[in-house]
């Protein structure tokens, strides 16, 4: 029986050039696409205080309050978060020039605030977000 003899060390060389080409192409792709991404956010800062008094015949604002337990109140009346738009629309039917002010508590869920804000804006109701100062 014949024995096989090993001839030298046969080492397989890996050609790195195609891999480097792919890495550079991916790098260029991510650099180019990252410059086109823009994130849009809501400005939750309250408007600056004004020294001007409100007009004498201005209707009272509609206040939507959200407390720390995510209970929703429209002008002091408790309502469901899903019915805020209906309650605001009912009040605006009587005085269409009334401003809508959302005053969330710092502990309220942000998703709930954004959901109400989107729902009111989809119904063409202008909304101002104010800070809850009832603490």
pLDDT of amino acid 7: 63
pTM attached to this predicted model: 0.59
| Residue reference for tokens 């005085």 | 95
Q: Where do the structural domains in the chain lie, given as residue ranges?
A: 62-129
Nearest to 61 by CA among 31, 99, 26, 116: 99
The listed CATH number (3.30.450.40, 3.30.420.270, 3.40.640.10, 3.40.50.300) that belongs to domain 62-129: 3.30.420.270
Q: How confident is the model at residue 130 (pLDDT cuts 50, 70, 90)?
A: confident
Q: How confident is the model at residue 73 (pLDDT cuts 50, 70, 90)?
A: very high
- Which is higher by pLDDT, 62 or 96? 62
Task: Give pLDDT tens digits for 106-116.
Answer: 888 888 888 88
């Amino acid at each position: 029986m014949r024995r096989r003899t090993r001839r030298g060390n046969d080492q397989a060389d890996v050609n790195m050039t195609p891999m480097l080409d792919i890495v550079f192409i991916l790098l260029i792709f991510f650099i180019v696409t990252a410059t086109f991404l823009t994130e849009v956010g809501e400005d939750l800062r309250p408007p600056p205080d004004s020294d001007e008094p409100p007009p004498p015949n201005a209707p009272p604002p509609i206040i939507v309050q959200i407390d720390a337990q995510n209970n929703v109140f429209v002008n002091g009346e408790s309502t469901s978060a899903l019915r805020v738009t209906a309650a605001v629309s009912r009040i605006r039917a009587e005085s269409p020039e009334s401003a809508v002010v959302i005053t969330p508590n710092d502990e309220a869920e942000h998703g709930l605030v954004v959901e109400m804000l989107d729902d009111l804006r989809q119904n063409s109701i202008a909304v101002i977000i104010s800070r809850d100062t009832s603490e």
